Structure 1
C-alpha cells in the first residue's frame, strides 16, 4: 500500500543507500568506490566491479582522473568519451516524453478531475522507461534544436538556450494540450555514481477547461559509472499539482533494495484540495501503471477493481541502445519535418557517426563541434554580445524547485510561424537534400572573418 504521508520517506531512502554502499565502499583499494549490483548483495560486488563496458586499463585511468571531482557538480565540467554515449542528444531525449502524449489527450477529455490527474501523472511517469538506457545523450550545442511534427497531431520544438549552465527549453502542442519545459539539472559526482537533481520546470495546460498542471519530478541516481554494469535508480517523490483546483498527485518511487527488491515500483494517491486521498495509483515505471478508487483513509473501495491506465509499448528485441520504436523515429531523417532546421540534432555529425558504429569519427567530430562552440563564445565575449535564442525568450521569472531556483524561458511562438511557412511552401525537398544538410547551430558564419 502506498504511503499517505511523506514524512521520513527521504530519510528512509538515504538510509537504504547508506546501508547499500557501506558494505562495498573502498573495495579493491579504491578510496570512495562503491559498486552496487541491483540484482544481488554485497558478496558479489567485487565480481560486479569487473563487468561493464569499460576495459580494465580505461577504468583505472578514468577513475584516477575523476577522483578530484568527487562531491562536485560535473554537469559541464568533464569531457567524456563517446564510448559511453548513445546516438541522440538531450533535446531528442526531451521529446521522448511525447511517445505517450495520448494520455494528455485523455486527461483533457476527462470529466472526472481526479481521473484527469491519473492520466496526467502516468504521462509524466512514462519517460522513466527510457531511464533504463544507461548510455549518455550528447550535450546539445548552444543553438541546437530538435523538431517533431508527425506524432499524434503534436508539434514539438526544443532548443539549447544556454551553454553555461546547460539549459534547454521545449514546447509541444496539439488540439488537447500545451506542454512547456525549461530543463536544467544539478549533479553530484560520488566516484562510481552520479546523483541527478532536476531543476527544471514543467507546465501542462489542458485546453478544454484551461487547467494548468505543474510537475516536480524525483531525483535519480546513476550507479556503477566506471566499475560494474551501469544502471539507474529513481528514488524519491513525484508531485503533480493542478494549479487551478489545488488537487494533486503524490507518488513515491521506491529505491532499489537488496536483490532488486522494490526496484521500478511506484505508488501513491490522487488527493483533493483538502488533501484527502481519492484514487490509488500503483505500478512499475518500466512496465505499467494502474489505478483504483479509495476512501479518505486510503483504503480501496469495495466493489471496485484495479484498472490499467498505461502500459509500455512493444519494443525492439536486442536493440544495441535499448531504443524504443519511437526513439528510432526521433533519430530518423525519414520522419523529419519538411525543410528541417539546419540546427536539428539529427544532423549532428558525431551523433550520426556513433549511430553507424564509427567511434573514432564520432569522437573527433564531437571534439570539433565543441571547439567551434568555444570559439564562438570567445567571439561573443570579444564583441561584448549576448547569445539570443531563436524560439524561446528569457524572462525575469525565477521558479523555485527543491534543488534551487530556475531561470524560466518562454516559447515565443515564432516556430509555429516558421513551420506553417515551410509546410505551405511549394518547393519539393528531396530526401537527399536533407541528408546532405550540414549541421549549423552557429551564431556566426565564417569564424575567420569575425
Structure 2
C-alpha cells in the first residue's frame, strides 16, 4: 500500500520544490567539497541556511587531522556493508550497545498498555503505531552503539512492570533477538541490520521482524519500520533522517496503519514530519495521524476520503519526554536509565552489556581505556571463533532458539529466532533462592564467552 493520497500530493509538492533547488544545491556542495579537496562528499546543515555550508564542513566530531586520516581509512569501504566492522575508532561510539538500544522501544510502552485495554479497534492501532514512532526521537543520536559480542545479553526490569531480555544470537551476520513482556503485551523481535557506507553517509536497512501480541484479545501486530540515513559521518555536523513508510498491520483483523516519514529537504524543510492513516481491512481510511517524530503525534477521525470529520478535533496521543540539556551523547533520561544498575535484576547475567569494560570506560570518559578494552574483547571473540571452528562446534544461544521460519522483508530474507522461555525459569529460580541476599552486580566480570579456557 502506498502513502495516503494527501501525503503523496504533499510529498510531490516538496519533491518539486527540492528539484527546483537541485541545481543550486549541487553547485553549493561541489563548491564546499572542492574547497576541502573531497569531491562527492555531501555537506548539509538541515537546520541552517546556505551561508552555513562551508562552516558546517569544518564541524563534526573530528579534528581536521582526524578527519583526513579517518577519511583515507574509510574510502576503501564505500559501497560496503559495514555492520560488523571492528576497526572503527572508539571516539565515534556511545556508551551503549545495540542490545540496549533495542530496549529503548520500551520507554513509552504504556501506549501498548492502552492499546491492549482499548475497545475501539482503530484507536488500538493509533496507540500501538504511536508507540512505534516514539523511539525515533532517541534514534536520532549520531553516536554509534557498540556491536554486541556473540552471546552478550541485556536485561531490564523495574520499568512499568516490564521484563526485557535481548541476546546476540549471531556474529556473521550480526543478529540480535529480543523479548519483552508485562501484563498487557509481549514483544518479540529478530534484528539483522544491513548497511551501505556511502563515504560521508550511511544507509541503514532494518532487516528485522517485530511482533507485538496484545494479551487481552490475542491480537498480533506486525511492524515494518522505514530505513534510516546517517548524514555527514566525517565532514559536517552529523544528523539522522528516516524517510519512507512505517507500516503496522493487525495480523488478526487486517487493519493497518501506514505512516509516511517525510524526507528532510534543503534547510530543514519537512524534517521530522510524519503523516498517515489508520485503515480498515478494506483499506478505507478511518483515522488520520500527523505530527513530528521528534515531538508528538496526534490523531483525528476522518471520512473515506481522508478528510477530518466535521465536529471532531485533532488530539495528541504521544508527546516526547523532556531530555537532559546539553547531554554529551544526546542521551534521554531513559537511555541513562538503561545504563544504570537500578534497572538490572539481582544476579545479573555476567554477559550483560552494562558490564562491558569498553562501554564502562567510555561512560567514565576514558577513551584510551575504552579503546584498549574494545580491542581486547574483539580479539577474544576472534579467538573463540577459531576455537569453535577447530572443534567443529556451533554457537547456540541460551535464551532464544532459531526456528525454521524464514520471513521476507523489504531489504532481504530473515531467519527468525524465538524466545524459548528458559530465562523466565532462570529468573524464577533466582527469586526463590535469594530472599534478602545482597547483590553486588557492579563487581561482576563481563563474561559472554563459550570457552572458559581461552585468555584475552
How far does the alpha carbon of each residue in 1:1-57 deviate from its partner, in whole angstroms, 9 at most, with x for none?
x83378796998799599466741443221331111111344432221100110110
Q: Does 1:286 align with 2:289?
A: no
2:18–2:266 Cα contact (<8 Å) kept: no
| Among 287, 301, 312, the residue aligned to 1:304 | 312
Q: Does 1:106 align with 2:114?
A: yes
1:396–1:408 Cα contact (<8 Å) kept: yes
| Among 422, 445, 450, the residue aligned to 2:452 | 445
- Distance change in 2, residues 1:408/1:420 (3 Å): same
1:24–1:42 Cα contact (<8 Å) kept: no
1:147–1:337 Cα contact (<8 Å) kept: yes
Q: Does 1:254 align with 2:255?
A: no
- Give 4+ residue runs of structure 1 displaced > 4 Å after superposition: 5-18, 20-23
Counterparts of 1:14 and 1:389, CA distance in 2: 50
1:16–1:255 Cα contact (<8 Å) kept: no
Which position in structure 2 is the counterpart of 1:323? 331
- Distance change in 2, residues 1:187/1:5 (3 Å): farther
Q: Does 1:80 align with 2:88?
A: yes
Offset at residue 150 of structure 1 (A)? 1.0
Q: Does 1:417 align with 2:417?
A: no
| Among 362, 366, 371, the residue aligned to 1:363 | 371
How far does the alpha carbon of each residue in 1:159-187 deviate from its partner, in whole angstroms, 9 at most, with x for none?
00000111100000111111000011111
1:4–1:268 Cα contact (<8 Å) kept: no
Cα RMSD of the aligned pairs, angstroms, is: 2.1
Counterparts of 2:190 and 2:12, CA distance in 1: 25
TM score, norm. by length of structure 2: 0.94
1:73–1:186 Cα contact (<8 Å) kept: yes
2:7–2:275 Cα contact (<8 Å) kept: no
Which position in structure 2 is the counterpart of 1:4? 5
- Distance change in 2, residues 1:175/1:57 (3 Å): same
How far does the alpha carbon of each residue in 1:375-394 deviate from its partner, in whole angstroms, 9 at most, with x for none?
00000000011000000001
Q: Does 1:24 align with 2:25?
A: no
How far does the alpha carbon of each residue in 1:374-420 deviate from its partner, in whole angstroms, 9 at most, with x for none?
00000000001100000000111111000110111011010111111
TM score, norm. by length of structure 1: 0.95
Which position in structure 1 is the counterpart of 2:343? 335
Unaligned runs of 5+ in 2: none
How far does the alpha carbon of each residue in 1:84-134 deviate from its partner, in whole angstroms, 9 at most, with x for none?
111111100100110111100000001111000000000001110112211
2:86–2:378 Cα contact (<8 Å) kept: no
| Among 56, 69, 77, the residue aligned to 1:69 | 77
Instruction: Write the mapping of 1:6-405 to structure 2, written as runs, cut at 5 A.
Output: 19=22, 23-25=28-30, 26-27=33-34, 28-77=36-85, 79-405=87-413
- 2:342 counterpart SS class: coil
1:339–1:429 Cα contact (<8 Å) kept: no
- 2:337 counterpart SS class: helix
1:4–1:269 Cα contact (<8 Å) kept: no
Offset at residue 429 of structure 1 (A)? 4.4
Counterparts of 2:166 and 2:298, CA distance in 1: 31
2:380–2:455 Cα contact (<8 Å) kept: no
- Distance change in 2, residues 1:257/1:108 (3 Å): same
2:212–2:221 Cα contact (<8 Å) kept: yes
Which is worse superposed, 181-190 or 2-11? 2-11
- Distance change in 2, residues 1:304/1:5 (3 Å): closer
1:74–1:187 Cα contact (<8 Å) kept: yes
Counterparts of 1:168 and 1:435, CA distance in 2: 24
2:159–2:343 Cα contact (<8 Å) kept: no
- Number of residue pairs the alignment of both structures matches: 447
- Distance change in 2, residues 1:3/1:139 (3 Å): same
1:34–1:191 Cα contact (<8 Å) kept: no
Counterparts of 1:83 and 1:296, CA distance in 2: 52
- 2:375 counterpart SS class: helix
Unaligned runs of 5+ in 1: none
Counterparts of 2:438 and 2:453, CA distance in 1: 27
